[in-house]
Chain A
């Protein structure tokens, strides 16, 4: 008994003593420049071919480079490729790699590494959720059949005639291919290194090679702390970049703000009310993204098939007021499908320069909405309309505000709101026939307007309702180039807006705050990737 008592006392004393000793032993500040970067969720993977979420993409960008990349000015510039040529028919794209590229283990990085990386993405054995980028967005030859296991990976339309030339064959032209290939899923993969790791590839920092600006030197699956050091084999001079990066996962926003205020974090993405409260702070910076909120419509619904009813609904929503008072995250009201600062036309003009282009049809106007509503009801021969409106449970507040405005502004309209778990919401949105209205949030994967037309063509939700003229136009866009193509894209957007095929609501913004001395941070036009090559941190 006495021994037991002694042990307990010793154990408690040891615990407190260890706490004190560790607290006294905190090191002085490191002389190396370390950037403390906060991320809100742990990356689900560091295997580039498996990356399908923004959390992972935000981490992988530190140690992965691709053929083309976004620079600090949000321009798409050559990355590991030096240049590319597109064949006359648009079906073959040849990339010329930079000379002397190396992996972080000093081994040469060759065109065959791209062949292997692309084959891994298509291979059903890799089990990648990003395979659709290859099959449905850039149409690489045979990728669809390979992804479903109907053809071997060797049949994929990629080849490397020599160590510096990488050729991609497409089933149909893809004018925006370089934007898609800038995504981490299209990163190279060293065949020898992958084979040497076996099934443990990407499980730890030791089983991952870098071809980007940094090298992982601390990582466990689903970590809360990740560390990277500068890659001496990186193809660009980045001697002014921070020596190391501490990626710290902080899921709680209040705690993150306290850490930032204490100097523990240098870069922090903020949202919601905190972003609203911090507006005006000189350390705060907002970046437009291609996350777009819209309402998808079931056009087969007997009420919603009436165009006047659709216009009335769109014109009853005071987007600016909801963005300011409900979302409170710098989101901007949108009355067209394509947001500002997303796509630059051939002549250098912003595609969505005129934000109010479709205001007459789509924009908020309570009086006109009532007129269209009355007109629609007369055409339908009814005096009241009941609709079911679905949303993700995380968007309930926005959907409630919309419902309130619609019911207030349109007499006789009754809306039943159904907040759903994310997975069920996604299922309904994808299947496209289990709702009257659904609040949709969509992020473009690549910087081309077609990425945001997705629900209206091909296998998209509303493809069958948006008319053959629209589908034909989008198909023609694949073969067109330059100003002619831009014109077609404008026409396609016009068809959607004139017919109120969908109701645009808000354009996304990413809000960051930076510590003193930190500069050069940027976000790609889609918002899905952070551009870290220009980041600098000056020691105080």
Chain B
């Protein structure tokens, strides 16, 4: 059952990726201008440049040539934002940094969020509830950019606790502020989900029974509440992770992190078609793979979830 479902999902994923690639190719044809220095080059020189990159060929030929190269692991070269540099080189340099910072933000945000959610749900303290409300409201309402400015001003500039910029010589230490800035929203979302799930679990019959039997609070939290609250949290984490990997542009720019966020915006404004296509494709693939993994995890974590539609 599982094997059949997986095969079906993978086939659909490949078809979706192929379609995304085709749409991207067509859309980029409508973008005004070219990747080259149109204002100063003569039309003949612009044509010669297009020809040398194969951009003079019909779109459909360019498309199938691109797909062929991609299957061989060649994503082409950049036209303008880093002329003639293979895109695989650009991605290889930048992806690990984005992924590391994304994962660290996710772990930090999740740990604090789960603790905050559980504690607020379990101990019915007004002070705790107030702290929880302020933190989660700020985390969701305040853009990470503003939070980053606040961190830079307080922890970086005034207290001089952490460096204001990313430094390759101390990648971990200099990642502290970007990680904190990005983890704030993760913390807020996770805390809200955990609290609401934990409150449901707390009201359930089995927790009441456990309490009646005299089980300690610690055992109840770890054994019942934590485990049962985590299923929806996993769902949210997947979406947050993809968001962190694709949407940290502002934070990357602010802390001079050599990640891939800025690469995409620069490529779009410079009409660097190959970079735009490669990054969009990688993002799409990432999203599809994460969602696929999530479905499988569901199936493992909660045996009531059946893949493939029919219940056994």
Give CA–CA (A252, B255) in the complex, Å. Answer: 8
B258's partner among A22, A26, A223, A262 (CB-CB below 8 A) is A223
Query: In whole Å, how far is A231's beta carbon from the nearest beta carbon of chain B?
Result: 23
Decide if A44 touches B49 in the complex (CB within 8 Å): no
Decide if A252 touches B160 in the complex (CB within 8 Å): no
Decide if B253 touches A251 in the complex (CB within 8 Å): yes
Give CA–CA (A470, B163) in the complex, Å. Answer: 57
Decide if A430 touches B48 in the complex (CB within 8 Å): no
Which residues of chain B are near A18, meaning CB under 8 Å?
172
Decide if B152 touches A258 in the complex (CB within 8 Å): yes
Which residues of chain A are near B176, meaning CB under 8 Å?
19
Q: B interface, by DSSP: helix, strand, loop or mixed? A: loop
Does residue A254 face the partner (Cβ distance < 8 Å to B)? Answer: yes
Give CA–CA (A15, B110) in the complex, Å. Answer: 14
Does residue A353 face the partner (Cβ distance < 8 Å to B)? Answer: no
Decide if B32 touches A459 in the complex (CB within 8 Å): no
B256's partner among A135, A148, A218, A249 (CB-CB below 8 A) is A249
Which residues of chain B are near A124, meaning CB under 8 Å?
48-49, 51-52
Binds B, one of A89-97, A126-134, A482-490, A525-533: A126-134
Which residues of chain B are near A430, meaning CB under 8 Å?
38-39
Does residue B81 face the partner (Cβ distance < 8 Å to A)? Answer: yes
Does residue B118 face the partner (Cβ distance < 8 Å to A)? Answer: no
Binds A, one of B19-27, B83-91, B130-138, B212-220: B83-91
Decide if A127 touches B160 in the complex (CB within 8 Å): no
Decide if A258 touches B53 in the complex (CB within 8 Å): no
Chain B interface bracket (under 10, 10 to 19, 20 to 34, 35 or more)? 35 or more
Query: In whole Å, how far is B101's beta carbon from the nearest beta carbon of chain A?
Result: 12
Query: In whole Å, how far is A38's beta carbon from the nearest beta carbon of chain B?
Result: 10
Q: Mark B45-82, 1 if CB is under 8 A from A, else 0.
A: 10111011100000000000000000000000000111
Decide if B45 touches A147 in the complex (CB within 8 Å): yes
Does residue A52 face the partner (Cβ distance < 8 Å to B)? Answer: yes
Given A222-B90, A251-B253; A44-B42 close (CB under 8 Å): no
Does residue B167 face the partner (Cβ distance < 8 Å to A)? Answer: yes
Decide if B165 touches A248 in the complex (CB within 8 Å): yes
Query: In whole Å, how far is A273's beta carbon from the nearest beta carbon of chain B?
Result: 16
Decide if A52 touches B152 in the complex (CB within 8 Å): no
Give CA–CA (A129, B35) in the complex, Å. Answer: 10
Decide if A258 touches B80 in the complex (CB within 8 Å): no
Does residue A534 face the partner (Cβ distance < 8 Å to B)? Answer: no
Given A129-B49, A259-B165; A423-B31 close (CB under 8 Å): yes
Query: In whole Å, how far is B173's beta carbon from the nearest beta carbon of chain A?
Result: 4
Decide if A203 touches B257 in the complex (CB within 8 Å): no
Decide if A23 touches B32 in the complex (CB within 8 Å): no
Decide if B32 touches A255 in the complex (CB within 8 Å): no
Nearest B residue (CB) for A204: B89
Which residues of chain B are near A45, meaning CB under 8 Å?
82-85
Give CA–CA (A264, B166) in the complex, Å. Answer: 12
Decide if A224 touches B166 in the complex (CB within 8 Å): yes
Query: In whole Å, how far is B143's beta carbon from the nearest beta carbon of chain A?
Result: 14
Does residue A352 face the partner (Cβ distance < 8 Å to B)? Answer: no
A421's partner among B32, B162, B253 (CB-CB below 8 A) is B32
Give CA–CA (A224, B251) in the complex, Å. Answer: 14
Interface residues of A (CB under 8 A from B): 11-12, 15, 18-19, 22-23, 25-26, 44-45, 47, 50, 52, 124-125, 127, 129-132, 135-136, 144, 147-149, 203, 218, 220-225, 248-252, 254-255, 258-259, 261-262, 264, 420-424, 426-427, 429-430, 459
Given contacts A19-B172, A23-B162, A135-B45, 17 further A-B pairs with CB under 8 A are A12-B111, A15-B107, A23-B161, A132-B37, A132-B40, A132-B45, A136-B40, A220-B258, A221-B93, A222-B93, A225-B167, A250-B165, A251-B262, A252-B254, A254-B149, A255-B255, A258-B152
Q: Could you list 12 A-B pairs, sorted by A, with CB under 8 Å? A: A25-B170, A45-B82, A125-B52, A136-B40, A144-B42, A220-B258, A221-B82, A221-B89, A221-B93, A250-B165, A255-B256, A423-B270
Enumerate the 9 nearest inter-chain pairs by beta-carbon distance, A residue then B residue, closest first.
A423-B33, A424-B32, A22-B173, A129-B37, A251-B253, A224-B256, A252-B254, A224-B258, A221-B85
